[in-house]
């Protein structure tokens, strides 16, 4: 076991999708639900910029399995989905967009000692936003265009795929304190489409490029946890991301953003040796930059300049 026999099962590190080494031969199943609403906008995201489009609600679910079948090898799999509800003063007045995705990763232990463990993780991932259609669109406050019978006026879709590599280190400072850190790299290919058969609508959309572009995300994670009782523990993490884009065309007048910092805090309650409930808070400096790569493009970049946060609840279960 990673942190020695002195650590009871009730105080093992909750892994989920955190940047930690996966240990033990148990199959660990976890689920989480993230939520943002107008009443939960503690960072004043909605009031920090002027736009005809306002975020009303963001929610996301994640379901994952972690398992270490070998002493030096482990894997994790994650399925996730998200929905955003937006409102506009002009048509379309309501927009419901969503995406789905998955990630798979393998961890290989490079170094293992009594208080430390170093692992190399390689993973792949996909995100896809199915087609979203609009049948009414205001090109200006006084001009509204309606779709021809049997046709959709505006069609929006996006996808991303990636591979990533992370070098992770864990350290047990004391029976109650554990620290984790990593250096990570992601290589992504992203494609986003927003188009209309109507030339007037197409001209007013200021659509992003139709051709895919590439992104490189380079970053690090620092994470610490405190086991302050047999039933309760808390953790806090900081993630920093630097982004470089290739074959990406900026829309004139729109700023692009290339850095993201994420702070998250977890509070865990071990109901028994198998089941743990946890509560989570996350704060981002730039909306969902890096979290949802397919949502960022040259047209939507203005939504990513402000801080954003949400709350979560989850469960973990060990078989």
In a domain, 145, yes or no: yes
Digit-coded pLDDT (tens) for 13-69: 899 999 999 998 889 999 999 999 999 998 999 887 666 788 999 999 999 999 999
In a domain, 2, yes or no: no
In a domain, 4, yes or no: no
In a domain, 37, yes or no: yes
Q: What is the pLDDT of residue 1?
A: 36
Q: Give the residue numbers spanning the domain of 298.
A: 9-318
Question: Could you give the number of structural domains in the chain?
Answer: 1
Q: What is the number of residues in the chain?
A: 319
In a domain, 202, yes or no: yes
Better-predicted residue by pLDDT, 202 or 6: 202
Q: What is the mean pLDDT of residues 159-180?
A: 96
In a domain, 1, yes or no: no
pTM: 0.92
Per-residue pLDDT band for 3 (boundaries 50, 70, 90) equals very low
In a domain, 3, yes or no: no
- Using the predicted structure, report yes or no on whether residue 10 has a pLDDT greater than 50: no
CATH of the domain at 166: 2.40.128.130
In a domain, 23, yes or no: yes
């Amino acid at each position: 076991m990673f942190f020695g026999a002195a650590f009871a099962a009730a105080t093992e590190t909750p892994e989920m999708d955190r940047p930690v080494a996966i240990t033990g031969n148990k199959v660990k199943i976890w689920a989480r639900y993230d939520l943002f609403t107008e009443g939960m906008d503690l960072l004043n995201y909605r009031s920090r910029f002027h736009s005809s489009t306002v975020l009303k609600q963001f929610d996301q679910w994640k379901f994952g399995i972690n398992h270490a079948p070998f002493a030096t090898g482990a894997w994790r799999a994650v399925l996730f989905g998200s929905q955003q509800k937006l409102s506009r003063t002009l048509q379309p007045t309501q927009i419901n967009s969503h995406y789905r995705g998955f990630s798979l990763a393998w961890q290989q232990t490079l170094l293992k000692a009594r208080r430390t463990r170093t692992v190399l993780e390689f993973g792949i991932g996909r995100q896809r936003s199915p087609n979203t259609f609009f049948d009414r669109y205001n090109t200006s406050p006084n001009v509204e265009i309606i779709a021809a019978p049997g046709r959709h006026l505006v069609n929006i879709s996006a996808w991303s795929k990636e591979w990533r590599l992370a070098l992770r280190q864990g350290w047990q400072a004391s029976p109650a304190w554990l620290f984790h850190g990593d250096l990570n790299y992601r290589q992504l290919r992203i494609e986003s489409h927003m188009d209309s058969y109507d030339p007037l609508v197409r001209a007013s959309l200021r659509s992003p490029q139709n051709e895919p572009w590439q992104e490189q995300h380079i970053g690090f994670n620092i994470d610490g946890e405190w086991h302050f009782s047999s039933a309760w523990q808390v953790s806090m993490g900081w993630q920093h991301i630097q982004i470089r884009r290739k074959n990406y065309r900026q829309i004139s007048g729109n700023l692009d953003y290339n850095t993201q910092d994420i702070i998250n805090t977890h509070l865990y309650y071990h109901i028994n040796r198998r089941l743990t409930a946890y509560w989570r808070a996350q704060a981002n400096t730039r909306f969902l930059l890096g979290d949802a790569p397919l949502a960022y493009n040259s047209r939507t970049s203005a939504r990513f300049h402000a801080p954003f946060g949400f709350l979560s609840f989850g469960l973990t279960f060990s078989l």
